[in-house]
A = this chain, B = another copy of it.
């Protein structure tokens, strides 16, 4: 059985100019990626930000839906948001996976645009690795203009970008859409209908 985790990094990520910045947490990133994570049976979803006030925000979103009025109104939401927690750094997310699984996770980085010379791994190969390798995997998504090169450099696998189709491919998916597609390509199963 696959042991897959994901993290949405708000730091260190790039801005439009390629500088390393911290971005603000977006409410719907917490919700949408939690629901996608639950759909594809991820074990945890880490919202990573070094900004203390943002942890309070994420905690309030999670509590509303897992403990508060939201749980009564939309019960499906809490089983998704229960996967989520905010942490101050990628290192803490890696440590949390290691604590749970007893072994350090393989890091799978995603990027829409490549700013670092590194070999890429295709989705089919990554999917096969996740299925066959007993190690846990931690899939990393970046906000802003993508994961900083320092994160890409430490990844065990750097996934090929999701490429647009046609003569003038467009590669500006929202992180919510990109995460959904990546998780589906790595872990999804189409129904028996062929």
Contact = CB atoms under 8 A, between A and B. Distances in A.
Nearest to A32: B174
A32 B177 contact: yes
Copies of this chain in the oligomer: 2
Interface of A: 28, 31-32, 35-36, 38-41, 76-77, 79-80, 120-125, 160-166, 169-174, 176-181, 184-185, 187-194
A103 to B, nearest CB: 22
CB-CB nearest 7 A-B residue pairs: A122-B193, A177-B180, A160-B191, A39-B164, A41-B166, A32-B174, A76-B172
B190 A124 contact: yes
Given A76-B172, A80-B172, A194 B124 contact: yes
Contacts of A187: 165
